[in-house]
Structure 1
Amino acid sequence: IFDQLKKEQPDFLSKVVLIHGDCVQPNLGLSEDDRIMLRAKVNCVLHFAATVRFDQTIRTATYINVRATRDLLRLATEMPNLKSFVYMSTAYSHCVRSSIGEEFYETPITGEKLITLVGSCSEEFLDKITPTLLESWPNTYSFTKAVAEEVVQSFSDRLSVAIVRPSIVLPTAREPLLGWTDNMYGIVGLVVGICLGLIRVARIKIDCLADMVPADYCINNAIAAAWYVGEKKNREVVGNFDNRPPIFNFVITPHAPITWRNFSMRIDAHLKRVPTKYLVWYPCCFFAENYYTYMLLNILFHHIPAHLADFVMLCLGRQPSSAIPGFSHLNYRPVDGARKIDKVMNAISYFSTREWTFSDQNTQELYRQLNDTDKEKFFFDLSNFDWNQYFYSGAEGARVYILKDPLETIPEGEKRYRKLQIYHFALVTVLCLGLLWLCYYIIKLLF
């Protein structure tokens, strides 16, 4: 990932200072020496650190997403050279609303009260009251991001702050590499699971719009936001913005909308073009919107096969395991794998079965204010986004950067794809014939 940077800036490490910190700890776990250095040297803060786990405990989510944000804002007030502070939130921080504008919304509790609450109660008690505390929010992640926005707003009278709200973040579209990502959280994990043949049922409302943006566009938007609030401190550069802290919704549905159906069709097309040698089964996934339909299919296509695989392995005297080559950390029993899939779907189904209306006038206006050079260098215009090109490069990127499967092994992947395709349709044929025979046998008994 840093090869191009090493060529262009061989001494880039001399420009980077690493410090030790931990967002779970008070004051971000920074030493006093580092705090002194930060006060003296920093003139722009881009706060992207967060826990993005939907099932994170309310205590840990609050410490990382709310308290760490507050403590960093406090430190920022002590920086005499600070020009701007940008907080990276999420477009789904207020997902309890069907229409989300570029404005602040009320939260059921302030950041200070939430920090005090989680710090004074036992973990067991917090687990019990979490559903009540979240109210209509689906998880601790979106809830604590909403509360963190309230914290940022409370510092707006002392600091030049802005909030960037991206929707679902996808692998990069341009830089540092095409299709690059380093994690399998959320939608990325779902897509990889489907492409490997591991996930065969997903709870998705297929004709809903799926709002997703490339990671590099999102970063460029945040950098431009930092420029804006830094310049605004001295002069008004964007006449349409008022004196409130600006919020930039970074979303794609107003410009290049795509449905989950279209999304899945494009993935399927490009999967066949660059199949991986790590395929576990022939990729074939059913989408179900209704919860009960999903649960029935989930049992049929995930849990029953997983239990059968466990049973067969035990009969053969082998330890049940579903380790994928190159993924030693995924070494678990098939039954545990089915439970992990349940966990993933429970986390994302709230977002994959609903649709939101977003406004992004501030983001569009911000891009228009950039000069031509900066528009090219910090490109984040989504008005003409090419999904076909994105999926073309994204498929190769996911193969190389997530699965660690180089493009040179495509012939091996194609061979495995064809073999599993034969196995899949042979199994489907046998099952269909068996079902027909069973129906015939039952009818014969009855009549």
Structure 2
Amino acid sequence: MINCKLFERLQDEQPGFAGKIIAVKSDLTQPGLDLSKEDQSILAENINIVFHCAATIRFNEPLKDAMQLNVLATQKMLALAHRMKHLEIFIHVSTAYANCDRELIEEIIYPPPVDYRRLIDTLDWMDDNLVSALTPKLIGERPNTYTYTKALAEYLVQQEAGDLNVAIVRPSIVGASWKEPFPGWIDNFNGPSGIFIAAGKGILRTMRASNDAVADLVPVDVVINTTLAAAWYSGSQTCNRPKNILVYNCTTGGINPFHWGEVEYHVISTFKRNPLEQAFRRPNVNLTSNHLINQYWIAVSHKAPAFLYDLYLRLIGREPRMMKTITRLHKAMMVLEYFTSHSWVWNTDNLAMLMAQMSPEDKKVFNFDVRQLHWAEYMESYCMGTKKYVLNEELSGLPAARKHLNKLRNIRYTFNTILVVLIWRVFIARSQMARNIWYFVVSLCYKFLSYFRASSTMRY
């Protein structure tokens, strides 16, 4: 992990930093986190700060697994934290969408509709089929098990923290880095990154989303800086600890709003200027909030081209793959559909308070002031980051990629022209009026060309 590009600057500035890292073998699903007695003792004696970030981020995780990784694992971490003799602060990383069943989300912990203890006991004796059948009723208005279990985990932290000094950070949709360690760093297909790549490759052509809905993207370095600042502030308030757990909504929508229509524009324009290698089609995405229109475009612009391409692969003796890709893409789109079609309002008073407590120097080093974020520049660096760090495409390949994109454009124009001519010829064969119009247009073009040639001859 420490050999990836993310840490290159750190390796240059502090070559021996790896010696400060001690990896501990653990398993969130096992009793006692599967820690050895020796490791438990080391942690109990030496830990001052805990950042609990571990969780499953699969939105459609089976409820039993999501409970195990997001709720029970948090319970085990808190139990371990209670044994740490020098612990100053426990930071729990949640999600801004934990309470997405509400339109206005305050920086407080909301009580869940069910007692997490009773739910844990109930799920323990249920078989998987029964749990799957009950899941929609249990999660209620929340879209998936991820947001549901993260809400339960927050309440568990409140109930079982006891005398621990605890704070909760809730990031929204985490995207590529804004500034640190360099703009555009991203190394996975999670969240919007995979969708951006699919759009850049020309595979994604339609998506159900509201152009005016807020796209609450937050750069990963903003989340990290907020988390570190929250740990500093809460850790320094040992004598004047607040009565309630401090919750920080790490979001951008209420401070520097950006909309899904703008996301689509910047992603497509960036990938047209700086195309991905071996694109399937030229980038172009249609956003619609109408389900039927979206299904129509899926059939016309996703499934039909994928079917024809797979048919071509079969004819040349290669294994078809595009329909499988489209199926995976549709699953990802269905998961994100809820978040691209709705908007929320997050209160960020605690975030503003935290920033006000920091010195001018700390505000520069641990910058999370998203008012300074220029979305057009950020989206370009984000898209270029997916090209460089996710797909590992070199910028030296851009001329060839642009040439390939121009070739796709010419193929499309040629295909459309042939299609129009064929359709028109069908009408000509059946309609006298269509024939008359066709002959008029042809004669007009002939006269124009004759005039152009005559004018050219006279000049010479």
Partner of 1:348: 336
Q: Is the 8 A contact 2:268 2:285 kept in 1?
A: no
Partner of 1:86: 91
Kindly state the Cα deviation for residue 441 of structure 1 after the two structures are TM-superposed: 6.9
Provide the TM-score with structure 1 as the length reference: 0.91
In terms of fraction of residues, the more helix-rich structure is: 2
Q: Is the 8 A contact 1:84 1:230 kept in 2?
A: yes
Q: 2:324 aligned to 309, 320, 336, which one? A: 336
Cα gap change, 1:414 to 1:150, in 2 (>3 Å)? same
Q: 2:202 aligned to 170, 194, 197, which one? A: 197
Q: How many residues align?
A: 428
Q: Is the 8 A contact 1:275 1:413 kept in 2?
A: yes
Q: Is the 8 A contact 1:26 1:68 kept in 2?
A: no
SS of the residue corresponding to residue 186 of structure 2 reads coil
Q: Is the 8 A contact 1:85 1:161 kept in 2?
A: yes
Partner of 1:326: none
SS of the residue corresponding to residue 232 of structure 1 reads coil
Query: In the alignment, is residue 167 of structure 1 matched against residue 172 of structure 2?
Result: yes
Deviations 1:50-85 (A, max 9, x none): 111111111111111111111001110111100001
Paired AA for residue 51 in structure 2: L
Alignment partners' CA distance in 1, 2:300 and 2:266: 26
- Which of 183-192 and 301-310 deviates more? 301-310
Q: Is the 8 A contact 1:86 1:162 kept in 2?
A: yes
Query: In the alignment, is residue 187 of structure 1 matched against residue 175 of structure 2?
Result: no
Deviations 1:177-221 (A, max 9, x none): 210111111211111110111111111111211111100110110
SS of the residue corresponding to residue 299 of structure 2 reads helix
Alignment partners' CA distance in 2, 1:90 and 1:317: 47
Query: In the alignment, is residue 410 of structure 1 matched against residue 405 of structure 2?
Result: no
Partner of 2:246: 246
Kindly state the Cα deviation for residue 25 of structure 1 after the two structures are TM-superposed: 2.7
Kindly state the Cα deviation for residue 401 of structure 1 after the two structures are TM-superposed: 0.4
Kindly state the Cα deviation for residue 110 of structure 1 after the two structures are TM-superposed: 2.8
Query: In the alignment, is residue 369 of structure 1 matched against residue 357 of structure 2?
Result: yes
Partner of 1:393: 381
Cα gap change, 1:201 to 1:392, in 2 (>3 Å)? closer
Alignment of 1:46-195 (within 5 A): 46-195=51-200
The structure that has the greater radius of gyration is 2
Cα gap change, 1:338 to 1:434, in 2 (>3 Å)? farther
Cα gap change, 1:140 to 1:279, in 2 (>3 Å)? same
Alignment partners' CA distance in 2, 1:46 and 1:225: 11
Alignment partners' CA distance in 1, 2:301 and 2:240: 60
Alignment partners' CA distance in 2, 1:186 and 1:424: 31
Paired AA for residue 16 in structure 2: D
Alignment partners' CA distance in 2, 1:439 and 1:116: 70
Q: Is the 8 A contact 1:164 1:248 kept in 2?
A: yes
Cα gap change, 1:395 to 1:120, in 2 (>3 Å)? same
Q: Is the 8 A contact 2:216 2:257 kept in 1?
A: yes
- Which of 426-435 and 72-81 deviates more? 426-435
Alignment partners' CA distance in 1, 2:216 and 2:369: 15
Deviations 1:110-150 (A, max 9, x none): 33223223322211211111111111110111111111111
Cα gap change, 1:269 to 1:309, in 2 (>3 Å)? closer
Alignment partners' CA distance in 2, 1:50 and 1:374: 29
Partner of 1:14: 19
Kindly state the Cα deviation for residue 292 of structure 1 after the two structures are TM-superposed: 1.5
Q: Is the 8 A contact 1:58 1:130 kept in 2?
A: yes
Cα gap change, 1:250 to 1:317, in 2 (>3 Å)? same
Cα gap change, 1:8 to 1:429, in 2 (>3 Å)? same
Unpaired runs of at least 5, structure 2: 1-5, 433-460
Kindly state the Cα deviation for residue 431 of structure 1 after the two structures are TM-superposed: 4.0
Cα gap change, 1:243 to 1:435, in 2 (>3 Å)? farther
Cα gap change, 1:231 to 1:432, in 2 (>3 Å)? farther
Alignment of 1:14-33 (within 5 A): 14-33=19-38
Cα gap change, 1:434 to 1:6, in 2 (>3 Å)? same
Provide the TM-score with structure 2 as the length reference: 0.89
Q: Is the 8 A contact 1:255 1:384 kept in 2?
A: no
Partner of 1:312: 312
Cα gap change, 1:427 to 1:286, in 2 (>3 Å)? farther
Cα gap change, 1:301 to 1:441, in 2 (>3 Å)? farther
SS of the residue corresponding to residue 132 of structure 2 reads helix
Deviations 1:94-123 (A, max 9, x none): 111111111111212233223223322211
- Superposition RMSD on alpha carbons, in Å? 1.9
Alignment partners' CA distance in 2, 1:287 and 1:82: 49
Partner of 2:458: none
Q: Is the 8 A contact 1:162 1:225 kept in 2?
A: yes
Cα gap change, 1:27 to 1:426, in 2 (>3 Å)? farther
Alignment partners' CA distance in 1, 2:426 and 2:49: 70
Paired AA for residue 137 in structure 2: T
Paired AA for residue 343 in structure 1: K
Partner of 1:223: 228
Q: Is the 8 A contact 2:261 2:287 kept in 1?
A: no
